[in-house]
Amino acid sequence: MGLTGCSAASGDEAPARQESPLAAEASLRPPRAVDSLLGLFDQTASVVEGEVTDVRGEYSPRTGPWTVVTLGNVRAHLGTAPRELRLKQAGGVLPDGRQLVVSHVPRFVRGARYVVFLRNTGWSLSPVLDEHAFRVESVAGREVLVGAEGGLV
């Protein structure tokens, strides 16, 4: 599928574990600043929509805390995607209970639906392209996209 930091499960199988989340990034082209719509799409592997069915933490002494977000009932608006997708992002709970919050990494709410732009480049914090994860909300009977700060997109 070409998405780094993402994994898919088929049926009831567990997703493929990614023990070294940054290893695959070495062969990809480096990300660039997104300063235009063309620049955004040039770095987009796919645009998917799905419901957050799980948010859980992982910790590795070598790479630190990670948050794994599971999107279910996924459909692709651009590119391809499996029905279930897991996004592994930097940050999360440390063994001593403190939390590492990483700026520029989108936050996801369990039960909410999102439209997400996934990278086709290397990354170090999130496979989501420049915080392009938009919550789908219903306003006056119409579906709208809401950005990280709560404004309509």
pTM: 0.79
Number of folded domains that form the chain: 1
pLDDT number for residue 57:
95
What is the C-alpha separation between 24 and 6, in angstroms, rounded?
11
Domain extent, residue 75, equals: 35-146
**CB-neighbour burial class of residue 79 (10 A; exposed 0-12, middle 13-18, buried 19+):** middle
pLDDT number for residue 97:
94
Contacts of 56 (CB under 8 A, 6+ apart): 67, 68, 70
Helix (H, G, I), strand (E, B) or coil at 143: strand
24 falls within a domain:
no
Query: Among residues 146, 151, 107, which one has the least CA distance to residue 125?
Result: 107
71 falls within a domain:
yes
125 falls within a domain:
yes
9 falls within a domain:
no
pLDDT number for residue 34:
81
pLDDT number for residue 16:
36
Of the two residues 38 and 106, the one the predictor is more confident about is 106
CATH number of the domain enclosing 95? 2.40.50
**pLDDT per residue over 43-93, tens digit each?**
889 999 999 999 999 999 999 999 999 999 999 999 999 999 999 999 999
Which residues is 60 bridged to in the sheet? 64
